[in-house]
Chains A and B, each alone.
Chain A
Amino acid sequence: MSLIEVKDLEVHYPIRSGFWNRVTDEVLAVDGISLDIEAGETYGLVGESGSGKSTTGKSIVGLEKPTKGQILYKGKDITKPRNRHELDYNQDVQMIFQDSLSSLNPRKRIEDIIAEPLRNFAHLSKDDEKLRVLQLLDIVGLDADALYKYPHQFSGGQRQRIGVARAVATNPKLIVADEPVSALDLSVQAQVLNFMKKIQRDFGVSYLFISHDLGVVRHMCDNIAIMHRGRIVEIGTRDDIYNHPMHIYTKRLLSAIPETSVEHREEAREHREAVEKEFQENQDRYYDKDGKVLPLIAVTDTHKVAMPQDEVDELQREDD
């Protein structure tokens, strides 16, 4: 059984307008997505900004109230606050935020920040708690002198590592990492990601890794879901997505990964332009008349894609 099952999750925001401030329309931030996250794996959630990936992540941690759908954990629907409370849900599911500075309370010392989930869930003695915090700091490679400092005294990478330490404090089973490294520069990104990988090896925690950076996702994730306009356009293993992309949007995203080889600059550009042309020409076949993403169709056991059935058959015939 999966660790967490997301079933047909929908998060809609009302748009109010007019004299009476009535609800006149809705923003379909997340419009019916389903995911299964297994224990110990890293699940990548990729998409452009506004595609609903952060909203999905927040719904899974319980920060966002879904309009419809279920999120099952230990057989209970945790979209209901009562069930979350009963399960001590946030002891098992934690979050790492994108903006490391604003996610740490500027008026609290590092000790109090990391100890906060411990105080709420673990109820340790004062000395045990301090020891725990020191060990957590050690795990993310920070010294004991960080204990009584304030967040603004650390660099971006150090702050993000403090965020990671807080997230693993209660030894959770799933950590939702909402673009944890996109605000950091490249060398620091690698450092933080390696700490996250090390923690995964040591503690067997699962990650829901939300990112728009396909390079980072390739480094981190076993399974990947590509989101667009609030729905999943393609879902599969790393191999499925990177080596056999089927949806035009996935192809377009993959072609946008920057390459550093100067010699192949022209070729890369031509490739990008070809992909973009394909996207523009075929858009009306891959999206329905309202511009919505089509329902997912299974191609293989692991690979699902949102495209018309006849296209799938055609592509499979080409492969054979």
Chain B
Amino acid sequence: MAQNDNLEKKSSISAEDLARLSKEAEEEATPSSRKIIWNEFKADKAAMTSVIIIVAFILFVVIASFFIPAHDYKEVNIMSYFNKPFTPDFWLGADSSGRSIAKLLIVGSRNSIGIAIGLTFISGAFGIAYGLISGYFGGITDMIMSRIYDFMIMLPQLMFIIVLVTIIQNYNAVTLTLILSLFQWMGTSRLIRSRSLAESRKDYVAASKTSGTGNFRIIFREIMPNISSLIIVEMTLSFAANLGVETGLSFLGFGLPNGTPSLGTLMANATDPTNITQYWWTWIFAAIEIIVLCLAVSYVGQALRRAADSSQRLGME
């Protein structure tokens, strides 16, 4: 360690000072971005309420669905045919098969939200990686990856999903999520690619290269943290959109298989005119839930966006 000795001679700092100096440094450390986001939510009451609503609702739905056995929402009970809501046995009424809307709603929400989260993570992760790599390497890599992107965006996505769902015999929530992910990553990847293109031409990337850091380390450890605010906002907002994807498909009858409740299948009750006018409780609670969730998520997304952009920030230090 000849070079180390050299440094030791020229610097007045030696090993004994290490503990004292690092303590000094910790006292002077700067607040993290977590703190900034927290301040932003404290300043925006609507966003704060939204976070609480989303977190509480998801927790409730996931936990509650464990206590609802499958036969509870699957078995037909002719005696409670279109039971009115707000009664002791049926809090939110019953549908044409006499199944409790409240139980369907809880289990259905869990399925729909689960698919939306899975979809957001899978398609998001793929889209982010695709965009980052395409933008970072540029040149021929970017050319090929962009043409693949163009091809994917050209496909009629809804048609493909419907055909795939019809072809695959035994599909469930997991396969549906994967099929949907196949067609959902493009928007994210395009957005990330443009930022990655700009970011990877900056000097700190060149500095990392001369420091001997490998390409993929630079992409995921240097560039990705710098566009993390964009990623968080994009993921949050696409979660709201993905909630709609599954719901829309199930509404059309191509989403989850029969007998698996979801927000979409509950919404599908509204395809019947008598249900819309007379038996409104079969679909209206699902509709309200979708509206509330999407609004809440978009409020959260806006607060995150403001936290990422210091000129829009509401929260003060």
Are A171 and B213 interface neighbours, CB within 8 A? Answer: no
Are A135 and B11 interface neighbours, CB within 8 A? Answer: yes
Q: Is the C-beta of A94 less than 8 angstroms from some C-beta in chain B?
A: yes
| Known contacts A97-B203, A132-B7, A138-B11; A105 and B222 CB within 8 A of each other | yes
Q: Which of A117-174 contact B (CB under 8 A)?
A: 117, 120-121, 127, 130-132, 134-136, 138-139, 143-150, 153, 163, 166, 170-171
Are B18 and A127 interface neighbours, CB within 8 A? Answer: yes
With A and B bound together, what is the CA distance between A117 and B3 in angstroms?
14
Are A102 and B203 interface neighbours, CB within 8 A? Answer: yes
Most buried by B among A58, A107, A108, A170: A107
Q: Is the C-beta of A104 less than 8 angstroms from some C-beta in chain B?
A: yes
Are A171 and B6 interface neighbours, CB within 8 A? Answer: yes
User: Which of B19-27, B67-75, B77-85, B105-113 is the contact stretch?
Assistant: B19-27
Q: Is the C-beta of B17 less than 8 angstroms from some C-beta in chain A?
A: yes
Are B22 and A144 interface neighbours, CB within 8 A? Answer: yes
| Known contacts A103-B207, A127-B18; A134 and B13 CB within 8 A of each other | yes
Residues of A within 8 A of B8 (CB): 135
| Known contacts A102-B203, A148-B29; A95 and B210 CB within 8 A of each other | yes
Cross-interface CB contact of B212 among A108, A121, A148, cutoff 8 Å? A121
CB distance from B232 to the nearest CB of A (A): 13
Are A166 and B211 interface neighbours, CB within 8 A? Answer: yes
Number of A-B contacts (CB under 8 A): 117
Chain A 78-110: CB-based contact to B (< 8 A → 1; otherwise 0) = 000000000010110111011100111111100
Q: How many residues of B contact A (CB 8 A)?
A: 36
- Summarize B's interface: helix, strand, loop or mixed: helix
Q: Which of B171-205 contact A (CB under 8 A)?
A: 202-204
Are B208 and A116 interface neighbours, CB within 8 A? Answer: yes
Q: Is the C-beta of A61 less than 8 angstroms from some C-beta in chain B?
A: yes
Residues of A within 8 A of B26 (CB): 148
With A and B bound together, what is the CA distance between A203 and B7 in angstroms?
8
Closest A residue to B15 by CB, please name it. A131
Q: Is the C-beta of A202 less than 8 angstroms from some C-beta in chain B?
A: yes
Residues of A within 8 A of B207 (CB): 95, 97, 103-105, 163, 166
Are A144 and B211 interface neighbours, CB within 8 A? Answer: no
Residues of B within 8 A of A236 (CB): none
Q: Is the C-beta of B28 less than 8 angstroms from some C-beta in chain A?
A: yes
Are B11 and A147 interface neighbours, CB within 8 A? Answer: no
Q: Is the C-beta of A66 less than 8 angstroms from some C-beta in chain B?
A: no
Cross-interface CB contact of A103 among B15, B203, B222, B225, cutoff 8 Å? B203
Residues of B within 8 A of A130 (CB): 18, 22
CB distance from A22 to the nearest CB of B (A): 15
Q: Is the C-beta of B206 less than 8 angstroms from some C-beta in chain A?
A: yes
| Known contacts A134-B13, A144-B25, A149-B28; A94 and B210 CB within 8 A of each other | yes
CB distance from B111 to the nearest CB of A (A): 37
Are A148 and B25 interface neighbours, CB within 8 A? Answer: yes
Q: Is the C-beta of B141 less than 8 angstroms from some C-beta in chain A?
A: no
With A and B bound together, what is the CA distance between A107 and B32 in angstroms?
10
Residues of A within 8 A of B312 (CB): none
CB distance from B214 to the nearest CB of A (A): 9
Q: Is the C-beta of B49 less than 8 angstroms from some C-beta in chain A?
A: no
With A and B bound together, what is the CA distance between A279 and B219 in angstroms?
49
CB distance from A110 to the nearest CB of B (A): 9
Residues of A within 8 A of B21 (CB): 134, 144, 147
Are A134 and B211 interface neighbours, CB within 8 A? Answer: no
With A and B bound together, what is the CA distance between A164 and B185 in angstroms?
41
Cross-interface CB contact of B22 among A99, A104, A147, cutoff 8 Å? A147
Are A63 and B209 interface neighbours, CB within 8 A? Answer: yes
Cross-interface CB contact of B11 among A88, A139, A166, cutoff 8 Å? A139
Q: Is the C-beta of A62 less than 8 angstroms from some C-beta in chain B?
A: yes
Residues of B within 8 A of A138 (CB): 11-13
With A and B bound together, what is the CA distance between A97 and B203 in angstroms?
7
CB distance from A32 to the nearest CB of B (A): 24
With A and B bound together, what is the CA distance between A146 and B27 in angstroms?
11
Q: Is the C-beta of B226 less than 8 angstroms from some C-beta in chain A?
A: yes
Q: Is the C-beta of B34 less than 8 angstroms from some C-beta in chain A?
A: no
| Known contacts A88-B212, A94-B210, A117-B211; A106 and B226 CB within 8 A of each other | yes
With A and B bound together, what is the CA distance between A105 and B24 in angstroms?
23
| Known contacts A104-B204, A166-B207; A153 and B10 CB within 8 A of each other | no
With A and B bound together, what is the CA distance between A130 and B15 in angstroms?
10
Q: Is the C-beta of B4 less than 8 angstroms from some C-beta in chain A?
A: yes
Q: Which of B1-55 contact A (CB under 8 A)?
A: 3-4, 6-8, 10-13, 15, 17-18, 21-22, 24-30
CB distance from B312 to the nearest CB of A (A): 18
With A and B bound together, what is the CA distance between A202 and B11 in angstroms?
10
CB distance from A99 to the nearest CB of B (A): 6
Closest A residue to B33 by CB, please name it. A107
Are B206 and A97 interface neighbours, CB within 8 A? Answer: yes
With A and B bound together, what is the CA distance between A106 and B7 in angstroms?
27
With A and B bound together, what is the CA distance between A131 and B22 in angstroms?
9
Please provide the 6 A-B residue pairs with the shortest distance between their CB atoms, ordered closest to farther. A147-B25, A120-B212, A145-B28, A148-B29, A103-B203, A144-B21
23 contacts between A and B (CB under 8 A): A58-B206, A61-B210, A63-B210, A95-B207, A95-B210, A97-B206, A105-B204, A105-B222, A105-B226, A117-B211, A130-B18, A131-B15, A132-B7, A136-B11, A139-B7, A139-B10, A144-B25, A145-B24, A147-B25, A148-B30, A149-B28, A171-B6, A202-B10
Interface residues of B (CB under 8 A from A): 3-4, 6-8, 10-13, 15, 17-18, 21-22, 24-30, 202-204, 206-213, 222, 225-226, 228
Interface residues of A (CB under 8 A from B): 58, 61-63, 88, 90-91, 93-95, 97-99, 102-108, 111, 116-117, 120-121, 127, 130-132, 134-136, 138-139, 143-150, 153, 163, 166, 170-171, 202-203
